């Protein structure tokens, strides 16, 4: 076994994708998305990735980094994938990882895996504990009939795509940012979500290569933004993926979240895809209830794992 640093070349991203495809064909790597995440990391982030080789072939990938979506002092997120024929290497990789982490002296490690992956079992064996679950769900638009769910919008409310709004102007961007911050405060999470600074949000969200302004829908009352649902392009065939969906507290219980989801489904069908994918925290019953009613089918859960380290 030979472990070498990832060099962030196109060839190494392709090698990473090959490992992920072999390890988890149901969840292939989005290369463009991964490159965007790597490019938009903060200069203060810790981040290292390695490729694992045997007989000249890349058989695994390993990384540790400051958590991208919820950075906090003393925490590092770890990840590894191995081709099925190389699973026996996981113990050696774990020893290598612990050695690499020594200079940073983290007090907690995080890992995100699916419950049916071998990584889930391995991390539990290393003393990680489950702290939260998110349900991955898929809607097959070929078998979706929106008719029973359609209701008139509340008076004074309209739904408009981002592409029809001045989304490249900073004033509008700040209003959208404030809406997202307000909605994220109500998203269930094992730890309180720390919002990105505005400039970081700009770079990570509005420069995302998978951003789809015409599939990013906002509910407005006059000029006030009161709700949102987002569809992003996906590297999966015939698929769009959902980002944040939510409605301001002042406008809830009026069917607005359902109306946004229906508008997104209508767009996805005309856009020419068959599937919409989404992810919801297991305790987010209002959104889970909407998705279940619409016909989203759950897949194995994505699990957040946590391990305390001795100082």
Per-residue pLDDT tens over the stretch 27-84: 999 999 999 999 999 888 999 999 999 999 999 999 999 998 888 889 999 999 999 9
| Same domain, residue pair 37 and 157 | no
In a domain, 307, yes or no: no
Return the percentage of the chain with pLDDT > 70, whole number: 99
From 109, 127, 145, give the residue that closes a domain: 127
Using alpha carbons, list the distances in angstroms from residue 61 to 53, 86, 198.
9, 11, 32
Query: What mean pLDDT comes out for the span 172-199?
Result: 87
How far is CA 149 from each of CA 181, 210, 230, 253, 275, rounded to the nearest angstrom?
29, 29, 19, 15, 19
pLDDT band at residue 19 under the 50/70/90 scheme:
very high
Of 122-131, 140-149, 208-217, 282-291, minimum mean pLDDT range:
282-291
- How is the chain classified by DSSP, letter by letter? -EEEE----HHHHHHHHHHHHHH-TTS---HHHHHHHHHT--TT--EEEEEEEETTEEEEEEEEES-SSS--TTEEEEEEEE-GGGGGGHHHHHHHHHHHHGGG--SEEEEEEETTSHHHHHHHHTT-EEEEEEEEEEEEGGG---GGG--PPPTTEEEEEGGGTTTTSHHHHHHHHHHHHHHHTTS--SS---PPPHHHHIIIIIT-TTEEEEEEEEEEETTEEEEEEEEEE-SSTTEEEEEEEEE-GGG-SSSHHHHHHHHHHHHHHHHT-SEEEEEEETT-HHHHHHHHHHT-EE-SPEEEEEEE---
Domain membership flag for residue 132: no
What is the spatial distance between Cα 17 and Cα 40, in angstroms, rounded to a whole number?
20
Say if CB 117 and CB 251 are below 8 A apart.
no
Residues 170, 297 within the same domain: yes
Q: What percentage of the chain has pLDDT greater than the value 90?
A: 86
- pLDDT confidence tier of residue 117, bands split at 50, 70 and 90: very high
Give the model's pLDDT for residue 261: 95
Residue 121 and residue 250 in one domain: no
Instruction: Report residue 210's pLDDT band, with 50, 70 and 90 as the boundaries.
Output: very high
Matching residue, tokens 């064909």: 25
Q: The tokens of 109 are what? A: 């490690």
Question: Is 311 inside a domain boundary?
Answer: no
Of 11, 58, 52, 54, the closest CA to residue 31 belongs to: 11
**Domain with 100 in it: what CATH number?**
3.40.630.30
Could you tell me the pTM of the whole model? 0.88
Residue 219 has pLDDT above 90, yes or no: yes
Closest CA to 153 of 260, 291, 288: 260
Span 148-152, average pLDDT: 93
pLDDT tens digits, 180-189: 999 988 877 7
**Do 205 and 282 share a domain, yes or no?**
yes
Provide the pLDDT for residue 23.
Answer: 97
**Band of the pLDDT at 190, cuts 50, 70, 90?**
low
Instruction: Please give the pLDDT value at position 283.
Output: 78
At residue 195, the pLDDT reads 83
Q: Which of 41-50, 192-201, 211-220 has the highest mean pLDDT?
A: 211-220
Same domain for 229 and 88: no
pLDDT at 311 over 70: no
Residue at 308 is within a domain: no
**pLDDT tens digits, 253-280:** 999 999 999 999 999 999 999 999 999 8
On whether both 62 and 202 belong to a single domain, the answer is: no
If asked whether residues 60 and 117 sit together in one domain, one would say yes
Q: Which residues contact 222 (CB under 8 A, 6 or more apart)?
A: 156
Do 36 and 142 have their domain in common?
no
Domain of residue 185: give its range: 137-302
Cβ-contact 212, 200 below 8 angstroms: no
Q: Are residues 75 and 189 in the same domain?
A: no
Shared domain check, 158 and 85: no
pLDDT of 186 reads: 84
């Amino acid at each position: 076994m030979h472990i070498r640093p990832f060099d962030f070349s196109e060839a190494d991203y392709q090698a990473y994708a090959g490992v992920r495809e072999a390890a988890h064909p149901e969840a292939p790597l989005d290369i463009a998305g991964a490159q965007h995440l790597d490019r938009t990391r903060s200069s203060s982030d810790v981040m290292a990735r390695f490729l694992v080789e045997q007989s000249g072939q890349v058989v695994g990938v390993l990384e540790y980094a400051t958590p991208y979506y919820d950075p906090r002092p003393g925490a590092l997120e770890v990840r590894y994938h191995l081709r099925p024929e190389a699973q026996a290497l996981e113990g050696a990789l774990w020893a290598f990882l612990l050695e690499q982490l020594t200079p940073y002296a983290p007090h907690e490690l995080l890992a995100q895996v699916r419950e049916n992956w071998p990584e889930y079992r391995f991390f539990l064996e290393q003393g990680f504990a489950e702290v939260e679950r998110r349900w991955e769900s898929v809607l097959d638009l070929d078998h979706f009939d929106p008719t029973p769910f359609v209701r008139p919008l509340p008076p004074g409310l309209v739904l408009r795509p981002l592409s029809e709004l001045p989304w490249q102007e900073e004033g509008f961007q700040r209003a959208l940012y404030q809406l997202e911050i307000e909605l994220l405060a109500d998203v269930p999470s094992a730890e309180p979500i720390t919002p990105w600074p505005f400039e970081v949000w700009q770079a990570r969200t509005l420069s995302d290569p998978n951003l789809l302004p015409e599939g990013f829908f906002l509910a407005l009352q006059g000029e006030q933004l009161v709700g949102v649902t987002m569809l992003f392009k996906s590297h999966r065939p015939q698929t769009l993926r959902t980002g944040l969906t939510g409605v301001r507290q002042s406008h809830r219980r009026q069917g607005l979240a359902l109306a946004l989801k229906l508008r997104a489904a209508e767009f996805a069908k005309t856009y020419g895809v068959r599937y919409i994918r989404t992810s919801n925290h297991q305790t987010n019953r209002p959104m889970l209830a909407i998705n279940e009613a619409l016909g989203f089918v759950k897949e194995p859960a994505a699990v957040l794992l946590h391990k305390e380290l001795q100082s």
